[in-house]
Amino acid sequence: MSAPDAAQPNPQDPATREGGRFVFRARVFSPEDLRRAHTRIAHEIVERNHGAEQLVLVGLYTRGVAIARRLGEVIAGFEGLEVAVGSLDVAFYRDDIGLRPVQPLGTTEVPVDVGGRTVVLVDDVLFTGRTVRAALDALTELGRPRAVQLAVLVDRGHRELPIRADFVGKNLPTKRAEDVRVRLAEVDGTEDGIELWGPADPAGEEEA
């Protein structure tokens, strides 16, 4: 999962997991599973919105940007039109600035005016919901979309804000201390996949 979504000053929390050792627990998605998930989400997006003309896919740094591009390519493949794809850096909108170092991850670039369009925010893992909250704020300053939807590859639960995804690749029940790691060839230089990792010392791990 994306590191920023896990940030809390809580020793139980994966945000502080750099201190502890994490071990591999299970492979959740194969490269093929991931491809199918992309295809399915792309179709659901187009179906829900009755086409792709007024869509903008906006990926959240870092892996959400790559996923948004992939979804754009899939949609272009079956709809025969270019979907606008942008990227959003939410660092300066986070609510944990001052609690830990928050550095920008990339440049916000949305190639079209979002005003009047439907924006689909894209991220890899939905966890506490705080990144999406920051993304909604960041988006507001770019304009007034007609609607905002959310697409994620994995929803792992443990929400701390009233936020839900419109398009989900897989609902994956997890323990709070666990970590969901999405691998994308163009970002990580490895084979595509989704893995579940957990602390080497599981003592004190809360149940989901």
Partner 1 sequence: MMRHLLSIDDLERSDLDELLDLGESFLAVTRRDIPKVPALRGKTVVSLFYEDSTRTRLSFETAAKRLSADTMAFSVSGSSVAKGESLRDTVQTIEAMGVDAVVVRHPSAGAPHRVATWIDAAVVNAGDGRHEHPTQALLDALTLRRHRGIGLDGARVAIIGDARHSRVARSTAKAFAALGAEVTLVGPPTLLPESLIGWPVATTGDFDELLPSLDVVYLLRIQHERQDATLFPSLREYTTRYGLTVERAARLKPDTLIMHPGPMNRGVEIAAELAEGPGSVITEQVANGVAVRMAVLYQLLGTGAPVA
Number of residues engaging partner 1 in binding (CB under 8 A) = 19
Q: Are strands 193-199 and 179-183 parallel, antiparallel or unpaired?
A: antiparallel
d(Cα 39, Cα 33) in Å, to the nearest integer? 10
Min dist CB 190 to partner 1, Å, is 26
Interacting residues with partner 1 between 104 and 143 (CB under 8 A): 104, 107-108, 137-138, 141-142
d(Cα 52, Cα 179) in Å, to the nearest integer? 33
Piece of the chain touching partner 1 by CB under 8 A; list 11-19, 84-92, 123-131, 167-175: 84-92
**Sole binder of partner 1 in the list 19, 101, 111, 189 (CB under 8 A):** 101
Min dist CB 115 to partner 1, Å, is 11
d(Cα 160, Cα 185) in Å, to the nearest integer? 30
Q: Which residues of 130-142 are buried (b: 16+ CB within 10 A; e: fewer)?
A: bbbbbbbebbeeb
DSSP letters for 86-97: EEE--GGG-S-B
Nearer to partner 1, 88 or 122 (CB): 88
Nearer to partner 1, 91 or 163 (CB): 91
Q: Which residues bind partner 1 (CB under 8 A)?
A: 89, 91-94, 97-104, 107-108, 137-138, 141-142
